Structure 1
């Protein structure tokens, strides 16, 4: 069993909790509260901005052109392709995408970003892979679970969102990240592998918390006066 297969098995509990979260199941049914969708898009837009910066940090730690090319390609994918699912959600709530950009991160999303930034700045390339991997991996499996359970047709309000994440492109990205993390783990000490395990599990936990944050429209105590988006 590879290192990433072990990670997936160890974190099955969190994957199952994500699959059965009310927000995720609401995507499958097509009936999420519009306020929750709006909150999700606002947070996810800024989260993905941070995700691209972490790819850039990883690029600066790369020793090979292959690694540099991979991270460069993923910045482009996040910047251009992942706007599609956001646009689907914006169409559902009847709000322009531009209106939902530039908002401060809610507490959970802020924590998630800083968790990944910590590993990006202080950790190895393997730690960065481990912190990043749960995002595409959980979304890929969410897409597949929703396709299987709800079998959405083109008239489903979240058809574009579901099919995007169930697509072979997300699967290929997840597989590539797994292979790269497995390669890092082969060269890592047990202490470093433990840091990778911790980074991966915390990212899985924060993926679950991100859905809950969106559903409850989580905000900072006493508001965001004077605070701007990162």
Structure 2
């Protein structure tokens, strides 16, 4: 019998394939993604990671297993410190100043995704919360490894550092740790809780797709002109 994570991935297979086939990720893989779209993505991702880190910190405080407490606390630090360093390297590479970043408004999708995770952190159970957090780990690994496996190596990709970050063994180990924590939580959960875990996992996968899509569209607030 498959564990919770394997079943959750099977249930969202169409979403996972659609993420890989999204124009943002196809252009990222080819190195043809416009710098403007990547800059917009970086600005949104930097803001998302703050909310993601806070939700991870809440998961750490609720984890019944000391090993899971250590993992989620460490992941919260990684989200805020290590990944921000990756962003800052790209900010420098693309000549983005603080003023440039401030001029990029937080998108509706970025705000919605972070608000969703923080709402689950506040009102949901521990199993539901970590099920909602897992897609950000797992889908990034899935995208990074897929791109790396299909690269020809003929041309230099300006986004190679991003690809390598999410395709390396250290990140894969973090994904495994998160999956193991979710599977353990599901094993002891009742059917109502497991159902909520599946719903949270699926919704977070949808938000991952929306995040890529909003970056490709450089999503703006449709009400901006009414302010």
SS class of match (2:81): helix
Output the CA distance in 2 between the equivalents of 1:24 and 1:97: 26
Q: Which residue of 2 aligns with 1:33?
A: 34
More off after superposition, 116-125 vs 175-184? 116-125
Q: Which residue of 2 aligns with 1:135?
A: 136
Q: Which residue of 2 aligns with 1:190?
A: 191
Task: Decide whether aligned partners of structure 1 residues 102 and 94 sit closer, same or farther in structure 2, where only a CA change above 3 A counts.
Answer: closer
Q: Which residue of 2 aligns with 1:54?
A: 55
Offset at residue 66 of structure 1 (A): 2.9
CA contact (8 A) 2:148 2:167 kept: yes
Task: Please report the RMSD computed on the Cα atoms of aligned residues, expressed in angstroms.
Answer: 2.3
Offset at residue 155 of structure 1 (A): 3.2
Output the CA distance in 1 between the equivalents of 2:13 and 2:189: 24
Offset at residue 147 of structure 1 (A): 0.8
Verify: 1:111 aligned to 2:117, yes or no: no
Q: Specify every segment of 5 or more residues in structure 2 that has no aligned partner in the other structure, as ranges.
A: none
Output the CA distance in 2 between the equivalents of 1:138 and 1:49: 18
SS class of match (1:144): helix
SS class of match (1:150): coil
TM-score (norm 1): 0.89
Q: Which residue of 2 aligns with 1:145?
A: 146
TM-score (norm 2): 0.90
Q: Which residue of 1 aligns with 2:44?
A: 43
CA contact (8 A) 1:54 1:117 kept: yes
Offset at residue 125 of structure 1 (A): 1.2
CA contact (8 A) 1:126 1:184 kept: yes
CA contact (8 A) 1:84 1:161 kept: no
Offset at residue 59 of structure 1 (A): 2.3
Task: Decide whether aligned partners of structure 1 residues 62 and 155 sit closer, same or farther in structure 2, where only a CA change above 3 A counts.
Answer: same
CA contact (8 A) 2:24 2:216 kept: yes
Task: Decide whether aligned partners of structure 1 residues 135 and 120 sit closer, same or farther in structure 2, where only a CA change above 3 A counts.
Answer: same
CA contact (8 A) 2:43 2:104 kept: yes
1:1-31 superposed Cα distances (whole Å, 9 cap, x missing partner): 1110001111110110000100101111111
Output the CA distance in 2 between the equivalents of 1:158 and 1:133: 24
Output the CA distance in 2 between the equivalents of 1:90 and 1:194: 41
Output the CA distance in 2 between the equivalents of 1:57 and 1:121: 8
